[in-house]
Each structure stands twice: as C-alpha cells, then as structure tokens.
C-alpha cells in the first residue's frame, strides 16, 4: 500500500495553519482544531497548532441556523467572534483576520492552508497564493453541494514542494474546473433560514469537516497516511476515500472514485 509521509519539520515545531473561510464548513473546522492542538501537545509535539482564520463576512440572522453564531452577534465579523470564543475557552492565542483573502502574493510563514470557500474564484486565489515562491507545505480543500462533497489534501508546487513522484497533487490539479471562476453561480445569498437549508442539507458541512480533521489527525499522529481525501454523499449514505497510487512518471496519481450519480466531485 502506498503511503505519504508528513514533512518532518512539522513534527519539530509549532504548525502554522491558515483557515480560509468561516462559514458553515470553516467554522466547523476551526471549532475542531483545538482538539487536534490538544492531542498534539499531549502526544509530545513541541508546539501544537497556531491558527489564523481569514474571512471578511459579517454574521447575519440567516447564518445562525447552520453556523455556530447567535442572533445577538449579528453584524459582527465571523472570524473575530469565533476566534475570540475559542481563545477564551481554550486559553489560546489564535488570530482572526476579518478580511477576504485576495491577491496573488505567495504566502509564507504558513504551513497548512485549509480552504473552506464556496466559489471557484476563491479557490483560484488559494491556488495562486500557495504556488510559485510560497512556502506552504499542504493545502486541504473542502467543498460541498447541498448533500455531498469532498475533502482533498495536496502539496502545491512551490518552494518546498518540488515536482516529484511522491508529491500529493492538489484539488486544483486533480480538478481544474474547481478554480474556473466562469462556472461560479452568481445567485444572491439566501434571504431566509428555510431557503438556506434548501440549498445545503443540515450537517453536510460538519460531516466533511470531521473527515478532513480526522485525515490531519492521522497524518500528525502516525506520520503518514494511505489516502489524501475522500468523497461523501449524505443522500445515499455513501462515502469513499481517495487512495494513493504511484505513476511511472514524475508525479503521484490518485484513485478518484465516482459519486453514485456518476460525477467525480461535488463542485
């Protein structure tokens, strides 16, 4: 069985994590990261995680149905509310950036980027900022439709990830359509809680977040993984992981399963 081994330096120092997006999926991921941080410390990791959350959206009453916010917090930045809450409860010093990730300047001093965005244009920004001269080791992308989705861990081509047979390809390489902004749906945000639930089933975001966090936990606990993502369909109770294989060429390959309806992804 093919496996991927973690970048060794991530086991010797504090791991710097950037979560992009603090909506239904992003907030579920951020709320779960303190457990991973505590587990790393308990197992002897020298620094655990330092997390920064970036999102420029304000809390609206509609958000309070599927996201961990109160109506009394409406009008405040999602990142500030959630990170302050976690810092107080867990005695952390994590950071909130109440702005959208934009531009193309390569990210540095970040080890893991977790993308929880809902547009292809936003994914393209993450792709641009984690490639070229960036020093990001991993990009973990999480995406979903109303009742299905996927999570995929990859190593973007950049300063620390050179083209090689063992490099994990990112979601941007496996699925070029995931960063094609022309395919984005420009529909207006949901105006009511009922409409929001029609667009996304309850718990689809939390299920994907837990799967993604479990993948990270295995990578850090055991130092290697035999899969780097997976697909979940809540409508049919179906899930499948994305196993590693190796090609005869310069880059790694992945076994990408089909969803029950014949699609490859939930983009």
Residue 267's pLDDT band, with cuts at 50, 70 and 90, is low
For residue range 203-243, list pLDDT tens digits in order: 999 999 999 999 999 999 999 999 999 999 999 999 999 98
Residue 108's pLDDT band, with cuts at 50, 70 and 90, is very high
Residue 259 scores a pLDDT above 60: no
Q: Is 172 helix (H, G, I), strand (E, B) or coil?
A: helix
Q: What value does the mean pLDDT of the chain take?
A: 89
Q: What is the DSSP letter of 77?
A: B
Give just the sign of the alpha carbon dihedral 170, 174, 180, 186.
Answer: negative
Distance CA 50, CA 94 (A): 6
Distance CA 105, CA 119 (A): 20
Distance CA 51, CA 32 (A): 11
Q: Which residue is it, tokens 């939930």?
A: 266
For residue range 173-208, list pLDDT tens digits in order: 999 999 998 888 765 455 455 666 667 788 999 999
**Which structure tokens are listed for 55?**
């999102």
Q: Which residue has the higher pLDDT, 246 or 144?
A: 144
For residue range 28-78, list pLDDT tens digits in order: 999 999 999 999 999 999 999 999 999 999 999 999 988 999 999 999 999
Residue 164's pLDDT band, with cuts at 50, 70 and 90, is confident
Please give the model's pTM, rounded to 2 decimal places. Answer: 0.90
Q: Which residue has the higher pLDDT, 58 or 252?
A: 58
Residue 248's pLDDT band, with cuts at 50, 70 and 90, is very low
């Amino acid at each position: 069985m093919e496996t991927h081994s973690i970048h060794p330096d991530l086991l010797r120092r504090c791991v710097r994590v950037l979560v992009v997006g603090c909506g239904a999926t992003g907030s579920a991921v951020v709320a779960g990261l303190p457990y991973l941080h505590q587990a790393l410390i308990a197992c002897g990791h020298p620094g655990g995680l330092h997390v920064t959350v970036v999102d420029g959206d304000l809390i609206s009453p509609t958000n309070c149905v599927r996201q961990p916010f109160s109506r009394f917090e409406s009008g405040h930045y999602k990142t500030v509310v959630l990170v302050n809450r976690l810092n107080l409860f867990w005695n952390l010093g994590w950071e909130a950036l109440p702005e959208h990730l934009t531009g193309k300047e390569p990210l540095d001093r970040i080890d893991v980027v977790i993308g929880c965005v809902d547009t292809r244009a936003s994914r393209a920004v993450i792709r641009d900022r984690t490639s070229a001269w960036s020093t990001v080791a991993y990009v973990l992308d999480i995406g979903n439709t109303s009742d299905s989705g996927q999570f995929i861990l990859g190593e973007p081509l950049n300063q620390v990830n050179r083209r090689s047979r063992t490099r994990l390809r990112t979601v941007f390489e496996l699925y070029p359509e995931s960063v094609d902004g022309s395919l984005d749906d420009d529909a207006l945000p949901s105006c009511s809680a009922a409409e929001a639930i029609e667009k996304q089933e309850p718990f689809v975001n939390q299920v994907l977040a837990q799967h993604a966090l479990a993948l990270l936990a295995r990578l850090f606990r055991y130092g290697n993984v035999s899969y780097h993502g997976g697909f979940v369909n809540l409508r049919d109770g179906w899930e499948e992981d994305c196993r590693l294989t190796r090609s005869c060429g310069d880059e790694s390959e992945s076994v990408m399963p089909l969803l029950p309806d014949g699609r490859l992804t939930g983009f």
